[in-house]
Amino acid sequence: MPLPASAMHLILGVVLLWLALGLAGVLFPHNLNLVSRLLFPAGAIGALVLAAAALDALSGEAQSLVLPLGLPGLPFHLRLDALSAFFLLLLGAVTAGISLFAAGYFRRGEGTPPGLQCLYYHVFIASMTLVLLADDAYAFMVFWETMALSSYFLVTSDHTKAEIRRAGFLYLLIAHVGAISILLCFGLLHGTGDYTFENMREVQLAPFWATIAFAMALFGFGAKAGMLPLHVWLPEAHPAAPSPVSALMSAVMLKTAIYGLLRVLFDLLHIQVWWWGVVILVLGLATALYGVVFSAVQSDMKRLLAYSSIENIGFILVGVGLTVIFQSYGMRSLAALALTATLYHCINHAYFKSLLFLATGSVLHATHERALGKLGGLIHRMPWVAWLALVGTLAIAGLPPLNGFVSEWLLLQAFLFTPNLPHPYLNMLIPVAAAAVALAAALAGYVMVKFYGVVFLGQPREERLAEAHDAGLRERAGLIWLAAGCVALGVAPVAVIGVIDNVTGALLGKTLGASATGWMFLTPISPARASYAPLLFLLVILAVWLATWLAVRSFYHGRVRRAPPWDCGFPAQNARMQDSAEGFGQPIRQVFEPFFRMQRELPTPFDATPRYRVTVEDHLWYWLYLPLAKVTEAVTRVVTLLQRGRISVYLMYSFVTLLILLLFVR
């Protein structure tokens, strides 16, 4: 009897397929037809297979495998458990849509040839898959670095522009600083044994060293996730990358950092201390607020989305923090609730953020414009993209019945239980944090109104926007896949939580068990407190809409009346009179002024060509990064003194070293 292929083998098969596709791309780097018609769609199918395998593995036993690769005597250990499987599911399901979109996206003559893009892209997703599977520190770091490098090449695919090279460098720098920290964390965790995660689970660290390991992990994975104050690479790198890559980075790569953090916190470390949770919570809150406030004042659509990614990572970190707090006090079911909200938000964010990034990619291709101030009215020209982006916009704004609402609601539910904490200050202070979360969520809605309104609604702000064309077939297919995911995740939360329960059960030893009251109602703790029925919600919305439509129809007898809009008594309206991106963000800029480092140039009444200019920058650049850069530069200048350019001097160095060593040996 042939053995049934295990999920692990299936996933490795997909990884091999991706690598083969990448190599095929390299062999024919300029053959766009091959890349877009065969390689990327095949990659999408592979991603679907991977998602299916991961879904299968979620409820099963953990599977281990030792790959005969790596250094002699140091093979790669792989393990597929519930946590890995969940993130693999996320990766596969989202990548399927992004790959489909990418099939139609990459064009000739834009930076790196399509075949090479195909290689980097597939190496990137393959390495992310292997990061999620890795079961020893060595394999983890190798794949982690592969991921960083391949994404670096993707970010700099338009490397002829200096600003993009700069963004790529910043990204690489922070990625590596983070990687060093992760490496040190593993160095602490492995105790005296070897570097397999198996061994790390056994090691009992003293609380002090466990705390250091935790701090290292938080720093390292936080750098990858875009946690404050390590977020600076994110708004630079995401806009620089091609849109499918931004989508992939934001949707999946940031989640690998969350995966790593969860892996270290709940799997490798044997204890959790309550104040770790507070640290994560505070950092998460700061990140969320910072991200959303900055995204409100952006005038570049991809930067706006990048800052919004920071905000969502903040939410996710808040969830992780709550989980740690609950878990450390032994409140298992509440910890399960918080972790469920976290994981749910991970997959939600993956869906809606990739959808929006891809939509901006379509807009970018159609208009060659990223600045919000030069877009507008695209819903008439690009109805497919506009309507699909609307789904993503509503989802990210956290409106029911779409998916963003469910996870934010669950997170707030978890917050509502924090007064039960057996700690006098925590149970008073943390509920306050809920207000901050709610504020960030509301501001996120504001940001999304700005994004959608300025790009798709109103009148075109430029002449050439009239020539914009809708997305092609493959791009549309990718967008539809992701939009459908947003709806499905929103409408069937009980089923999704059933899937997530496998993870919470494995990590915390307790599941949420939200299906207790049936598939219709999502009831996190008890029906007496709160429950949510998305389907009912959807039905009510549809019913109200239908009733309104019918009422209007019968009231007006089906007449459609077209009339010029009310013009405030000023008939000569043009597109310049619409609310602009800057104008829309202005109240936020005013209210949250201390967040920004602003420079404004106001025109005087006598200017012949009046200009209004405002630059909004990040304080952290000036408070943290530039001083650091200066110190580094000063240190390097000292080191440069060693470089004299004279061979005799260099020989002298070796000579003196030799002499000193000889004297030491004595």
Partner 1 sequence: MHLSFASQIINLLAAILLLLSFAMLTQRRILSLINLFALQGFTLTLSTLVVAWSTGQHHLYYSAALTFALKVLVLPWVLHRLIRKLNVKWDVETLINIPTTMLVGIVLVILAFNVALPISQLAGTITKSTLGIALACVLLAFLTMITRSKAVPQVIGFLAMENGLFFAATSATYGMPMVVEFGIALDVMVGMVILGVFFFQIRERFDSLDIRHLEKLKEE
For residues 394, 398, 399, 404, the Cα torsion angle rounded to the nearest 10 degrees is: 80
Q: Is 272 helix (H, G, I), strand (E, B) or coil?
A: coil
Least separation, in Å, of the C-beta of 626 and partner 1?
Answer: 23
Position 658 contacts partner 1 (CB under 8 A): yes
Please state the closest distance from residue 652 (CB atom) to partner 1, in A: 6
The smaller minimum CB distance to partner 1, of residues 1 and 662, is found at 662
Note whether 560 binds partner 1 by CB under 8 A.
no
Alpha-carbon 358 to chain mean position: 14
- The tokens for 559 are 């007449």
Q: Which is nearer to partner 1, 628 or 659 (CB)?
A: 659
Stretch that binds partner 1, among 127-135, 166-174, 629-637, 650-658 (CB under 8 A): 650-658
The yes or no reply on residue 638 touching partner 1 (CB under 8 A) is: no
DSSP string, 450-514: HHHHHHHSS--SSGGGGG-----HHHHHHHHHHHHHHHHHHH-HHHHHHHHHHHHHHHHS----G
Q: What count of other Cβ atoms lies within 10 Å of the Cβ of residue 31?
A: 19
Task: Write the burial class of residue 562 (CB in 10 Å: 0-12 exposed, 13-18 middle, 19+ buried).
Answer: exposed
Single out the residue of 420, 644, 657, 660 in contact with partner 1 (rule: CB under 8 A). 644
Element (H or E) spanning 75, and its range? strand 74-80
Assess 648 for contact with partner 1 (CB under 8 A).
yes
Q: Does 561 bind partner 1 (CB under 8 A)?
A: no
Does residue 635 touch partner 1 according to CB under 8 A? no
Binding mask 71-110 for partner 1 (x = CB under 8 A): ----------------------------------------
Q: Which is nearer to partner 1, 563 or 665 (CB)?
A: 665
CB-based burial label for 285 (10 Å; 0-12, 13-18, 19+): buried
Q: Kindly tell me which residue out of 26, 541, 651, 660 binds partner 1, with binding defined by CB under 8 A.
A: 651
* By the rule CB under 8 A, 605 interacts with partner 1: no
Closer by beta carbon to partner 1, 554 or else 643: 643
Longest dimension (CA), the chain: 106
Q: Give the binding range for partner 1 (CB under 8 A) out of 99-107, 150-158, 433-441, 645-653.
A: 645-653
What character string, x for contact with partner 1 (CB under 8 A) and - otherwise, covers 265-294?
A: ------------------------------
598 binds partner 1 (CB under 8 A): no
How many chain residues touch partner 1 (CB under 8 A)? 16
Nearer to partner 1, 548 or 632 (CB): 632
Closest to 304 in 3D by CA, of 431, 93, 450, 453: 450
Q: Strand pairing partners for 371?
A: 300
Closer to partner 1 by Cβ: residue 626 or 660: 660
CA–CA dist 410, 427 (Å, integer)? 18
Q: How many CB atoms are closer than 10 A to CB 159? A: 14
Judged by CB under 8 A, which stretch of 36-44, 153-161, 388-396, 653-661 contacts partner 1? 653-661
> SS3 string of 21-72?
HHHHHHHCCCCHHHHHHHHHHHHHHHHHHHHHHHHHHHCCCCEEEEEEEEEC
- In the complex with partner 1, which residue's Cβ is closer, 1 or 661? 661
387 contributes a contact to partner 1 by CB under 8 A:
no
Q: What's the chain's Rg over C-alpha atoms?
A: 26
Which residues would be at the binding site for partner 1 (CB under 8 A)?
A: 643-648, 651-652, 654-655, 658-659, 662-663, 665-666
